[in-house]
Amino acid sequence: MPARRLPALPVPLLAVLTALLLAGCGGAEPAAGPPPAYDPPTGFAAPTGSLFGGSGSQVFGRDADALPAALVGTAVWATDGGRVVRVDSTGTAVPGPAAPAGAFAAGRPVATDDGGVLVGATATIPGSGTTPPGLRVDLLAFDAATGALRFDVPTVLPWSERPPAVALRVAGVVAGVAVLTASTDAQRTAAGVDLATQRVLWTADGVAVDAVLADGPAGGTALGVATAPGGSRAYADSTVVGLDAVTGLKRFDGEALRDPRITRAGPGLAVVTGRTSATTLAAPSATLRFVDARGGTVRTADVGSSYSAPRCVWDEAATTVCGGDTRVFAVDAGTAAPLWDLPDPAANRVAPRMTTAWHGAVYGTTVNGPVVLDARTGADRDTRPGAAPVLVNAYLGLGAEAGGVAGFGGGAAITPAVR
């Protein structure tokens, strides 16, 4: 017996039934997932957004050291004009983070391993009668996913200034302690904050901490610069010092330098640069040393006769890359052993102007445009990356816009990673 065929439904009715079936099955489109991750990225799309542009910005630099920003997942965290800012790849603000009322946030945010973001802030303590106003520095901890404020740890400083004039630096976290420095040209104080108990463990007046290094499974060193009160770090002789990150007790006194700078060069290695006291305009004498957590010199690099040493960047993996206007070289982040050096006339290769390094890649520019090098060998890795960002992670790059300067009509361009 032949099978009976059901009568065909009119096309309009069929469309209605199909729509109802889809609605009943949850026809809403699933939420878009995160973009592909590239570790490290070697190519970037055209800019999709920007930061620090326009007259409202208080950021006046375009290199990595001057940008108070951090890439955290697919978002950019920053401070600008006292505000804590979180934006997506288009530069659109993502609601959530906000400094407490009366607190002026500044400096680069720092991401933590537990999904947090640390930011420094200052606030005026009101005076009364014959007591002048004071100054408070706060370590703010936000949730990186929601932007909610996890906690606020305050400490009173032994000197006072208007909050917008105070520079803030979260040097990092080691042994469960975050180290924060508040400074002006003439005053500076560092503080160690226990992130588990949310209390201030120590303060060190007259010291600005630039970097923290691990030293054993439960210890660490806060490497900083001690300058006499009233003295300018850029011009007065200052001393490189090491403090125990947990107790704040001094571990060592290092050399005296003018304009000393300390940069993390690996888990237990730092770069110390500056000018010796013998430096004059006619006879420049810059120095660059790699030191360990105990202050011992691991290696001294030859920087020739120059007034300022190259800027060094740890790629957060195995390599530290140092670069200036005419030279770029790399060392191992554990031993400071030399790896490669450019320019190389014999190979007909010039030195790029390095912008940053991350996870085995070095980013920079030459007369040919942006370029990406292999951090371990110095070989060209990509000759057309599309951008030379100063901050990089697996999703984004953040770099200078093609025109203008941040704070003067330009800003920092956000460029998504595409390969």
- List the helix and strand counts (H, then E) for the chain: 1, 30
So what's the pLDDT on residue 283? 67
pLDDT at 396 over 70: yes
Choose the weakest-confidence range: 23-32, 35-44, 357-366.
Answer: 23-32
So what's the pLDDT on residue 345? 97
Is residue 127 in some structural domain? Answer: yes
pLDDT at 119 over 50: yes
Yes or no: say if 187 and 141 are a contact pair by the CB < 8 Å rule: no
Average pLDDT over residues 21-39: 65
pLDDT at 24 over 90: no
Share of the chain above pLDDT 70, in %: 85
259: left (phi over 0), alpha (psi -120 to 50) or beta: left
So what's the pLDDT on residue 133? 93
So what's the pLDDT on residue 102? 94
Residue 398 or 30, more confident = 398
Yes or no: say if 170 and 120 are a contact pair by the CB < 8 Å rule: yes
Range of the domain at 109: 80-165
Q: Confidence band (pLDDT; 50, 70, 90) for 216?
A: confident
Residue 253 or 54, more confident = 253
So what's the pLDDT on residue 17? 38
Share of the chain above pLDDT 90, in %: 74
Is residue 280 in some structural domain? Answer: no
So what's the pLDDT on residue 402? 57
DSSP secondary structure of 246-293: TT--EEEEEEEEEEEEEEEEETTEEEEEEE-TT--SSS--EEEEEEET
So what's the pLDDT on residue 68? 94
Q: Is 48 exposed, middle or buried (0-12, 13-18, 19+ CB in 10 A)?
A: middle
- Rounded to whole angstroms, how far apart are CA atoms 186 and 243? 21
Is residue 267 in some structural domain? Answer: no
Question: Mean pLDDT for the chain?
Answer: 88
pLDDT at 312 over 90: yes
Sheet holding 361-366: strands in order across? Answer: 353-358, 361-366, 369-374, 380-382
What total of structural domains would you count in the chain?
A: 1
DSSP secondary structure of 91-150: SPBPS---PPTT-EEEEEEEE-TTSEEEEEEEEEEP-BTTBPPEEEEEEEEEETTT--EE
Average pLDDT over residues 314-332: 95
Is residue 1 in some structural domain? Answer: no
Average pLDDT over residues 57-75: 79
pLDDT at 389 over 80: yes
Is residue 156 in some structural domain? Answer: yes
So what's the pLDDT on residue 9? 43
So what's the pLDDT on residue 64? 64
Q: Confidence band (pLDDT; 50, 70, 90) for 281?
A: low
pLDDT at 408 over 60: no
Is residue 226 in some structural domain? Answer: no
Is residue 86 in some structural domain? Answer: yes
pLDDT digits (tens, 9 = 90+) for 67-106: 899 999 999 999 999 999 999 999 999 998 999 999 999 9
Is residue 133 in some structural domain? Answer: yes
Assessment of whether the complete model's pTM goes beyond 0.75:
yes
Average pLDDT over residues 367-390: 97
